[in-house]
A and B are shown apart, each in its own frame.
Chain A
Amino acid sequence: MHARATAPPHVVAGFTVPRVMFQVLAALVPVAAMQVYLHGPGLLWLVATGSVTALACEALALWLRRRPSLDFLRDGSVLVTAALLALAVPPTLPWWLMAFGTAVAVLVAKHAYGGLGQNPFNPAMVGYAVLLVSFPLEMTRWPAAGAGWDAVTGATALDALRTGLRQSYTMEEILTGPAFGALGGAGGEWVNIAALAGGLYLLARRIVRWHIPLAMLAGLAIPAAVAHALDPGAHAGATFHLATGATMLGAFFIATDPVSAATSDRGRLVFGAGVGLTTWIIRSWGGFPDGVAFAVLLMNLAVPLIDRYTVPRIYGHPGA
């Protein structure tokens, strides 16, 4: 009797990268549905445009890099990139801008660095950042909250807050404006709740682990709560920050991208807290509508350093 010689272990769990990616896509369904409900079907066109562009760019890059394309094309990672970008941009964005942003994400942020597993920056956030600095007008025109499917644009809650504070309105006056809801931004709070639901699903399925989301939410909520307690007139509270903008999407779907995040448990706590704190700083004093994308990219930069100083204690070695 003869058999193939293989190295141990001879058995694996069979949980694969494509399965991870498709679980993430499934978890994005609630937040996508909420956006469509609030702002109309624009998102669906963006997802379609993004997905087609992403697959085309992936195929092109794999062909140029002479890589076996089918296994990689099927892994689903570019579809996650496209879906996250589509959810991050305003649903009124022209389709060609979505295609451009996706192409940047896949070709530059991912494949120029070596493809799956090699990118130091979150591809979707690179695409978002490039779009934001290149096309600031289109990227900040969100449909007015409550306008439903008629694409009337208006200020987002974070914009209204920033503008209101600059014009010396009191926090009470600002928060009664049309852009605000019970917790955070009108509509935005529902999107955040939907993203939280998807995120909890990922936690339950152990696709993501709790370190990054919890650290990011704490890193955002704690400084917000402290600042609000010290100066309620100038700073929105923790609840507002948690329920506004891309907070939940960022905490569970964007900052948790394992490739560009820190890798040990402690490192992930540091990374997540850094993303949360940077988000709060950008929202409080920066010039951009939301801070999540830039916070994630900045912390991506810090990952090699974090990884170097957060190696866990190894069995049989003295404690650090």
Chain B
Amino acid sequence: MNRPALRGGLRLESHKLRPLQRPVLSVPSPRTAVLALDQGSGADAAPVVGPGQAVRVGSLIAAQRGAAAGLHSPVSGTVRCIASRPTVRGIGPCIVIDSDGRDEREPTSVPLDWRSLSGDALLERLAAAGIAGLGGAAFPTAAKLGLARSAGVNLLLLNGAECEPWICCDDALMREHAADVVLGAQVMLSACGADRGAIAVEDDKPQAVAALAAALAAAADVRLSVISLPAVFPLGAEGPLVTAVTGREVPHDGLPPQVGVVCQNVGTAASVARLVRDGLPVVSRIVTVTGSGVRNPANVEVRLGTPVAELIAACGGTTGDDRRLIAGGSLTGRALDDDAAPVTKGLNCVLVATPGDLPPRGTEMPCIRCGDCAVVCPAGLLPQQLHRATQSDDVEGLSHFGLGACIECGCCDYVCPSAIALTARFRVARERLRLHEAERERATQAKSRYERHRRRLDEQAEAERRAFDEARRRARGDGSAGH
């Protein structure tokens, strides 16, 4: 591929070496598991259990609803309550389960003979097992693959780019479970109907690439390949990744299937492999616990619902008091204000940061229009002009300069010499733009409704007038005939 891999972007220090020095660590299953109904997609699953109900590992506890995949119990025990608890996305509704420590499996969870199943049947199984995007979005995989299937995609793109600093759970997974990634890819190929699959990995992960190559050789599946990409942030974001691999851009008002591609995270593929091999729904994942604020950074295999505090404890605890918790990486992660927040499907990293890891920003100064932000913007935007439009609340300007294409990667903030919180402002402005457009849409609809209403009234009046004229003419005709 000769075309530029990515417009803009940043080459950043990766900070991934320390956790990768050790194999993936198993964190004991929690005494109390707290399952957020919102596992990262922004939507809440629908609880199907109540207080006092007995559950086992793999029992369905909340059903799929909209963008929220189904949710299964990661422990065996009893549901204590459904209540608001701190989560990685703020306070939110959670199912709290007291574990009995026996880890009894749901008897219905048995391995799948996936090769004998049709694509639709596979999609059903993936949906029933709560398979969701483990890259962070936690969007139901079956829905995404189903859409791809009906659009007739030809490429399944497995995202192992993992471009954001600090996060290395996918790297660890590919090193240790490359065969699972490959098996998952094969299953997903059958499910979405694509004829080839590519696993995209950034070139700063040679061990992962080697492990995948070996697994591919063992699987001897000619449809699958590994693609090496330059290590540039945010190449792992869906749009930039599709473009880097295919040279085609995802339309601004569309999704990757429109250019023949469907993206899935490598962790998601491994969870699919676990489903077909062991029959186990998604009840655990690998999380990177890192930062200078944690004593022994590591990637940990952990049950969903385990409090972040237990992950940090399993990694030797913190090294001091002045620590910040970030759920995710240093550029797009969310600040965590409570270490009781439990692990979700979308949680890939817990960054325990010292002030040295994340030096505080300087005082915000006015924009000097230097344009450094435009140089690094992967969407080809002019953040300096968007910033001006947000300041003057210029909604037309926001859409003229294409705010909708912003992927909130944070590159513009990173380079801004005036320390302006551009990404945060754009997030707010996007919401305003969305409301404005919805308002305009409503107004347009109301207008067309009114116009149609008027037309109907006019037509009705016209018809009545015509009927009246007709009746009069007939009456006159009859009258004249009577003379």
Task: List chain A positions with a Cβ less than 8 A from chain B.
Answer: 1-17, 19-20, 71-72, 75, 77, 115-118, 209, 258-259, 261, 263-265, 268, 307, 311-317
Q: Could you tell me if A209 and B371 are in contact, using CB atoms closer than 8 angstroms?
A: yes
A265 partner residues in chain B, CB cutoff 8 A: 371, 374
Q: Could you tell me if A9 and B337 are in contact, using CB atoms closer than 8 angstroms?
A: no
> What DSSP secondary structure best describes chain A's contact surface?
loop
Closest A residue to B411 by beta carbon equals A9
Residue of A16, A72, A314 near B402 (CB, 8 A) is: A314
Q: Is B25 an interface residue (CB 8 A)?
A: no
Q: Could you tell me if A11 and B331 are in contact, using CB atoms closer than 8 angstroms?
A: yes
Q: How far is the CA of A316 from the CA of B414 in the complex (A)?
A: 23
Q: Could you tell me if A8 and B332 are in contact, using CB atoms closer than 8 angstroms?
A: yes
A15 partner residues in chain B, CB cutoff 8 A: 415, 417
Give the interface residue-count category, chain B.
Answer: 35 or more
Task: List chain B positions with a Cβ less than 8 A from chain A.
Answer: 7, 165, 239, 243, 249-254, 309, 318, 323-326, 328, 330-339, 353, 357-359, 361-363, 365-371, 374-375, 378-382, 384-385, 400-402, 405, 408, 410, 413-419, 421, 423-424, 427
B328 partner residues in chain A, CB cutoff 8 A: 8
Q: How far is the CA of A265 from the CA of B323 in the complex (A)?
A: 41
Q: Could you tell me if B371 and A1 are in contact, using CB atoms closer than 8 angstroms?
A: no
Extra contacts besides A8-B408, A259-B369, A312-B374 (6): CB < 8 Å: A4-B324, A7-B423, A8-B332, A8-B333, A265-B371, A314-B402
What number of A-B contacts does a CB cutoff of 8 Å give? 159
B419 partner residues in chain A, CB cutoff 8 A: 12, 16
Residue of A7, A10, A12, A77 near B416 (CB, 8 A) is: A12
Q: How far is the CB of B341 from chain A (nearest CB, A)?
A: 11
Complex A-B: 28 CB contacts under 8 Å: A1-B325, A3-B323, A3-B335, A6-B324, A7-B423, A7-B427, A8-B335, A9-B332, A11-B165, A13-B415, A14-B362, A16-B362, A17-B365, A116-B366, A209-B371, A258-B368, A258-B369, A259-B368, A264-B382, A265-B371, A268-B371, A311-B402, A314-B379, A314-B402, A315-B249, A315-B252, A316-B251, A316-B254
Q: How far is the CB of A1 from chain B (nearest CB, A)?
A: 5
B358 partner residues in chain A, CB cutoff 8 A: 10-11
Closest A residue to B410 by beta carbon equals A9
A77 partner residues in chain B, CB cutoff 8 A: 368
Q: Could you tell me if B382 and A2 are in contact, using CB atoms closer than 8 angstroms?
A: no
Q: How far is the CA of A70 from the CA of B388 in the complex (A)?
A: 24
Q: Could you tell me if B382 and A3 are in contact, using CB atoms closer than 8 angstroms?
A: no
Q: How far is the CB of B387 from chain A (nearest CB, A)?
A: 10
